[in-house]
Structure 1
């Protein structure tokens, strides 16, 4: 039970880190809520892991820098896509209030 909860917490933390990095590296104004940033980061982690497997670099000696680069790249693309789609889906509401 504790392992499952720890896995969920770890996934959320990785998603938060990747989402925030994606927001920092993405150009433009990202008016998306923090929960969406975390979701984008979690999805980016899975996409990055998948891409690392496709290219045969999922397990390397030491730190898997290439896998992490794939994850960050997916997070940047995900943040840009979410920032473009969120206002349309949310009916014009954005995370920042004027």
Structure 2
């Protein structure tokens, strides 16, 4: 992976984190930096999960990959919020 791919993955991951936070109902006690970190991790893991499933084999935008990444980000944010409250 080239540096441009890594930078774009970080930017997309930040966006995924914000979308994942919007999906989780209620108020979350998760900071902006942690939201971005969770989004980046969700973007990478979502890409790793989606590739073997063949979700990249589409023409145009890979919407299903985005859905997988956003769901993973939402789960990560919900998990981190519950962990932090304890």
TM-score by length of 1: 0.74
TM, length-normalised to structure 2: 0.83
Deviations 1:58-96 (A, max 9, x none): 2321111111111111111111011112344xxxxxxxx
Partner of 1:11: 9
State the Cα deviation string for residues 25-77 of structure 1 (Å, max 9, x = none).
10122111111000100011012112212321123211111111111111111
1:27 aligned counterpart, secondary structure? coil
| Distance across 2 between alignment mates of 1:30 and 1:23 | 8
Q: Which residue of 1 aligns with 2:59?
A: 61
**Distance in 2 (alpha carbons) for counterparts of 1:52 and 1:22:** 17
Q: How many residues align?
A: 85
1:76 matched residue in structure 2: 74
Query: Structure 1: where are the runs of 5+ without partners?
Result: 89-98
Q: For the structure 1 residues 15 and 86, does the alpha-carbon distance in structure 2 shift closer, same or farther, using more than 3 Å as the test?
A: farther
Distance 1:23 1:45 in 2: 14
Unaligned stretches of 5+ in structure 2? none
Task: State the structure with bigger RCO (CA 8 A, min sep 6), 1 or 2.
Answer: 2
Residue matched to 1:44: 42
CA RMSD of aligned residues (A): 1.8
Structure with greater proportional helix content? 2
Structure 2 Cα separation of the partners of residues 60 and 83 of structure 1: 35
